[in-house]
Structure 1
Amino acid sequence: MSIRRLPEHLINRIAAGEVVERPASALKELVENAIDAGAERIAVRLANGGLDRIEVVDDGCGVAPADMALALERHATSKLPDERIEAVETLGFRGEALPSIASVARLTMESRVRGADGWRRIVDNGQLAGEGPHAMPPGTAIRVEDLFARVPARRKFLRSPRSEYGACLDIVRRLAMAHPDISFSLEHDGRRTLAVQGGEGREDRVAALIDRALADNHVVVSLEREGLRLAGVASLPTFNRGVADHLYLFVNGRPVRDRLVTGAVRAAYADLLARDRHPVLALFLDVPPGEVDVNVHPAKTEVRFRDPALVRGMLVSGIKRALDDAGFRSAQRPDAASMMAWRAEPVSPTPIGRTPIFDFAAPPPAGGAGKAAIPPSFYGIPPQQSGAAAPSLSDAVRSYWSGDLSQPAPSLAPAARAEAAEAAPPDGAQFPLGVARGQVAKTYIVAEAEDGLVIVDQHAAHERLVLERMRRALAGSGVAAQALLLPEVVELDEPACDRLEARLEELREFGLELERFGPSAMLVRATPAMLGNGDTQGLVRDLADDLAQADEALTLRERLDHVAATMACHGSVRAGRVLSVAEMNALLREMEVTPHSGQCNHGRPTWVKLAHGDIEKLFGRK
């Protein structure tokens, strides 16, 4: 269809001007034009994050020489068959992208229609700089150089080349996700950073662009209702991320950002995920053109639905139905060969090679909230003999965990279970949080206090304790690092690696030593010693997510607190971990002397108490 000028009354209905805010917005318009032209291969090349050069080459239908001048005029388009703008079915239709970009940069347009000669036209900041024949294969190549070079007021508000490149990469990733039948490639400063082949299935394309592990950890979403069709992939609840920036919505092949999606996803995963965790998903919604307005935002990143309640209901129902069909599936575990490298933890405590979960001898912080002390007799340390120095609790416990058998071993046999105890269980009256009597659902510690029953969430409580330990260590000599015998490689996308690389010194203060390992991977050489053998991959990924969410908005102190909280979450004992009674009691004692131990790092309570009177009411005794 040939390009034509729109009538005046229709021009007035269209918003005045395509927004070109940064290199990513210009790149979005160029790639969308290539998709609308029927391209099967699209190659993008960037220089200096797109500030110096943006080049998009496609093998689409091309533009005839006679139409090339018209393509660079405002309000000229080939994408509207008539004056019904609500019936548009292409990604772009304003007809202003090329002239808007050409007015603030040097734009070179080269195109050839199959069966005809190629033509080149150059416009430099709104002025024609030359045109003529040009030899090239069928398709179109557009090169944008020195964006905003002559508009310093706009240029100075652009971000760093790394940030601009990250925005460009996100644009290409979203468009490539929406069109799995097209091959995409992206080069930045001569280095290829993204390449996907056309003809892939939608699920394979989404996994290739978001996370390869998603291929084995997702459910397929499929639902049709009242002429609307919903499809896509959603991660299993156990495959989640720390921030909500991996929620992708596509409406009629157009990537959009809509708060409706965030609310619907939260409702669908309401009873499956903690509020601080978020799924990974890509949803594709096909809507009749008359049921959606795509002309809400000049950059076409937002849409307005005629019936938003219907769309939200579809999103919630589609995701919930897919998750229900998954049954008991959870994120896939490592392969058996990898698991053989780990040594099973002994059932009974043994002093050789044992690493404690809790710091039994951790000194209480100055001005601690509690005054409870752990009597040496609780650990089976004999009373002081006449004329002999009493062994300190700190020395005894450290000697036990280090494997020094010259010291008397503290008695750590479970004290409130079916097996015989070596010593009588301690008296709950001595401690505000009582003494452990058992564990429920491998998640909650049940303790008996003098005035009632205490139930503790072991993960939430230990998370707070680890955070406070890290804060005390930072205030002192720093967090001790534990070098890895074999450095671990964590694969991330390039912007995430850039964010971590910019914070290497801050992370080193926490005992986490990272090193750049190629363009899209980080090498972990050491982890905080107090975290033990945790999930290094998950820790680094969540740190990258946290930096993406709050890196610029927070002060250094606030960023350090965010990092500490993320590390504490990964270093804390998880729900589902069976604890011995000694470990439960050690946790309770440390909670009593640790500030803010009543709530976890996310604001949730770590323990609740049922007074004796409350229990009597439950059984009708009062």
Structure 2
Amino acid sequence: MAAPDPNISDLRPVIAQLDDAAINRIAAGEVVERPASAVKELVENALDAKATRIEIAIADGGKTLIRVTDNGVGMTPADLPLALSRHATSKIDGSDLLNIHSFGFRGEALPSLGAVGRLTIRSRTGDGEGAEILVSGGVHDPVRPAALSAGTVVELRDLFYATPARLKFLRTDRAEMQAINDVIKRLAMAEPFVTFILTDVSQGKSRVTFRADGETGDMFEGLHARLRGVLGKDFADNALPIDAEREGVHLTGYAALPTYSRGSAVQQFLFVNGRPVRDKVLIGALRGAYMDTLSRDRHPAACLFIDVDPTRVDVNVHPAKSEVRFRDPGVVRGLIVSALRAALANAGHRASTTVASATLGAMTPEQPAGRVYQMDRPTGGTGPAYRPSGFAEMTPDMSGRVEVIEDAPRGDDQPQGHPLGAARAQVHENYIIAQTETGIVIVDGHAAHERLVYEKLKTQMAENGVAAQALLIPEIIEMSEGDAAQLLAVADDLTRFGLTIEPFGGGAIAVRETPAILGEVNAEAMLRDILDELDDQGSSTLVQEKLEAILSRVACHGSIRTGRRMLGEEMNALLREMERTPRSGQCNHGRPTYVELKLSDIERLFGRT
């Protein structure tokens, strides 16, 4: 038992109302965690003001200066003092906290910032007069005239000077600037038709660190162009458009091919009614959509927008508004999974362009330090001065037997009309070399056939169902009533995959059947794992994952083995089946099944350009 605290008095504590300055500093601790939080609130205010151009200037990672300039509708001189009052806002009237159509609505950001820093607001409406107001540590100065064009300029200096303890928890200027950059990028993706300019003005120097000019065209064209600018050409070239709707929930955006996966979740961007969010239901759904195309250590890349009636989603569950709560999370999750899986299936055998780029990069030799003229290049030999290029770097022990096709049928011997071309040779008893109309394709025969067999097994399981093994004696598992109710709520879904459970009184669950293909199953351990997944993601795909893992292993053992020589007919048949089969561009673990090299790239390898 802890010793009594000598600082605690025996006298009855007195309840007292905190003053406004203390209340605002407490609120700031929830709303403004770091400079990036302040930038987010100010830029969202600019977007709510219908700005089409927003400029952000940052000094010392936002610790000494944050300035946000917009061309929005502006505020009148009478509005400025109200804007600095807690819970004063023009975005809602307070009658309905669910029907929210703006980024902000709490009316906490500006008074919170003014309580912990030195805040200046200058604003002017289109036909009004300009004015400014200063607040430092929660103390307001009178409104005074100011000269500026229509719009608003919010300048925050010396963040957390009034709460110096918070400064100790900030990271380096570079880390804080990176966090601000990430915030602006997310908002730029949410608003592709708005211009964003982020400038670092530290130490008297001005350097633009991010710029995205407003796009034109329809929503998909504008978003695709904005993603190309923010996430890069590789993402834009390998992303599939998503447009699906179910029960009033509309999903749009872009999701990348499985072969464009990442080592972490750094390229997963999710938006609800235009608001960037981090939601475990959405993240779990994204993972479920790519479940059988990526290994567990790889992460999909996607930028998805969910539009739903504001009354069906609660955004008022976190001060930073980064979390949401759906009224029907199952509908949202099902829409994401089905829409992404359909898009991946429709992509057919397509693999990402980065696969070919990586292949070319691996083949390209290091360039010599100085310039080498053609007359100085040796034409042969093995001396120290001789340096081969491209494929010539292969040594004799790296070469393998090449099986040239002589028995290919004449009708299938030409690449015209076939995306994966016509087989010409097999090397190392596994890799198929096919000629296309514009280059060559190198196919990993084992990996490709493994995916084809796996897709057939999945189709058979979907058509015929999962065979269930009835237990001679049902296994009774004791758990809390809450856990039991959570499992029984998804009992129908589990039954589809061969796992049958029933209530057995109190918190007990009776396991009647298990999936036959899994063999002997530790039912209690499986149910505990399903419960953990339900708690973490709101849904469980554990049983489905186990079944598909078994099918994947069966496909691996039933596919063409490395080391087997294939006939020309077999190779061409494999290529044609790949062209017809969804997801055949990657194996069951997300690795590419083929590499396509354009003739121009091959010629460049040999210096023929």
TM-score, normalising length: structure 2:
0.55
The equivalent of 2:505 in structure 1 is none
CA shift in 2, pair 1:155/1:413, >3 Å: closer
CA shift in 2, pair 1:39/1:443, >3 Å: same
Is the counterpart of residue 35 in structure 1 residue 47 in structure 2?
A: yes
CA shift in 2, pair 1:351/1:333, >3 Å: farther
Amino acid at match of 1:198: G
What's the Cα RMSD here?
4.0
Tell me by how many angstroms 1:414 deviates. 6.2
Tell me by how many angstroms 1:342 deviates. 5.5
CA distance in 2, matches of 1:76, 1:139: 19
The equivalent of 1:322 in structure 2 is 343
Tell me by how many angstroms 1:161 deviates. 0.8
CA distance in 1, matches of 2:342, 2:402: 46
SS in 2 for 1:204: helix
Is the counterpart of residue 142 in structure 1 residue 123 in structure 2?
A: no
CA distance in 2, matches of 1:85, 1:411: 68
Tell me by how many angstroms 1:103 deviates. 0.2
Tell me by how many angstroms 1:315 deviates. 0.7
Aligned length: 369
CA distance in 1, matches of 2:128, 2:100: 29
Gaps of 5+ in 2: 1-22, 217-221, 366-380, 406-427, 432-442, 448-559, 566-588, 590-609
What are the residue-to-residue correspondences of 1:386-425 with 2, within 5 Å? Answer: none
Is the counterpart of residue 58 in structure 1 residue 74 in structure 2?
A: no
The equivalent of 2:535 in structure 1 is none
The equivalent of 1:587 in structure 2 is none
Amino acid at match of 1:253: G
CA distance in 2, matches of 1:341, 1:242: 20
Higher relative contact order (CA 8 A, sep 6+): 2
Residue pair 1:187, 1:194 contacting (<8 A) in 2 also: yes
CA distance in 1, matches of 2:81, 2:398: 88
Deviation sequence 1:340-361 (CA, Å, 0-9, x none): 99589xxxxx999999xxxxxx
What are the residue-to-residue correspondences of 1:119-138 with 2, within 5 Å? Answer: 119-129=131-141, 131-138=143-150
Say which of 257, 266, 269 aligns to 2:290.
269
Is the counterpart of residue 278 in structure 1 residue 290 in structure 2?
A: no
What are the residue-to-residue correspondences of 1:107-122 with 2, within 5 Å? Answer: 107-122=119-134
Is the counterpart of residue 250 in structure 1 residue 271 in structure 2?
A: yes
Deviation sequence 1:45-90 (CA, Å, 0-9, x none): 1001101100000011111101110110101111113411111111
The equivalent of 1:161 in structure 2 is 173
CA distance in 1, matches of 2:271, 2:257: 20
Residue pair 1:123, 1:130 contacting (<8 A) in 2 also: no
Say which of 49, 52, 58 aligns to 2:61.
49
The equivalent of 1:220 in structure 2 is 241
Deviation sequence 1:518-563 (CA, Å, 0-9, x none): xxxxxxxxxxxxxxxxxxxxxxxxxxxxxxxxxxxxxxxxxxxxxx
Deviation sequence 1:348-383 (CA, Å, 0-9, x none): xx999999xxxxxxxxxxxxxxxxxxxxxxxxxxxx
Tell me by how many angstroms 1:147 deviates. 0.3
Is the counterpart of residue 198 in structure 1 residue 205 in structure 2?
A: no
What are the residue-to-residue correspondences of 1:166-565 with 2, within 5 Å? Answer: 166-189=178-201, 190-200=206-216, 201-332=222-353, 439=430, 442=444
Amino acid at match of 1:195: R
CA shift in 2, pair 1:341/1:173, >3 Å: closer
Tell me by how many angstroms 1:333 deviates. 5.8
Amino acid at match of 1:21: E
The equivalent of 1:541 in structure 2 is none
CA distance in 1, matches of 2:245, 2:128: 44
Tell me by how many angstroms 1:261 deviates. 2.3
Tell me by how many angstroms 1:254 deviates. 0.4
Tell me by how many angstroms 1:442 deviates. 3.9
Residue pair 1:351, 1:402 contacting (<8 A) in 2 also: no
CA distance in 1, matches of 2:42, 2:185: 14
Amino acid at match of 1:284: F
Residue pair 1:442, 1:577 contacting (<8 A) in 2 also: no
Amino acid at match of 2:37: S
Amino acid at match of 1:61: V
Gaps of 5+ in 1: 1-11, 345-349, 356-400, 404-408, 419-436, 446-575, 582-603, 605-622
Tell me by how many angstroms 1:280 deviates. 1.5
CA distance in 1, matches of 2:362, 2:243: 40
CA shift in 2, pair 1:278/1:579, >3 Å: farther
CA shift in 2, pair 1:580/1:161, >3 Å: farther
Residue pair 2:74, 2:123 contacting (<8 A) in 1 also: yes
CA distance in 1, matches of 2:399, 2:128: 86
Name the % identity.
45
SS in 2 for 1:314: helix
CA distance in 2, matches of 1:84, 1:122: 32
SS in 1 for 2:335: helix
CA distance in 2, matches of 1:102, 1:30: 12
CA distance in 2, matches of 1:342, 1:170: 34
CA distance in 1, matches of 2:306, 2:75: 31
Residue pair 2:240, 2:343 contacting (<8 A) in 1 also: yes
SS in 2 for 1:167: helix
Residue pair 2:57, 2:67 contacting (<8 A) in 1 also: yes
Amino acid at match of 2:114: A
CA distance in 2, matches of 1:93, 1:410: 69
CA shift in 2, pair 1:69/1:577, >3 Å: farther
CA distance in 2, matches of 1:414, 1:170: 51
Tell me by how many angstroms 1:444 deviates. 6.3
CA shift in 2, pair 1:283/1:415, >3 Å: closer
CA shift in 2, pair 1:116/1:317, >3 Å: same
Tell me by how many angstroms 1:332 deviates. 2.1
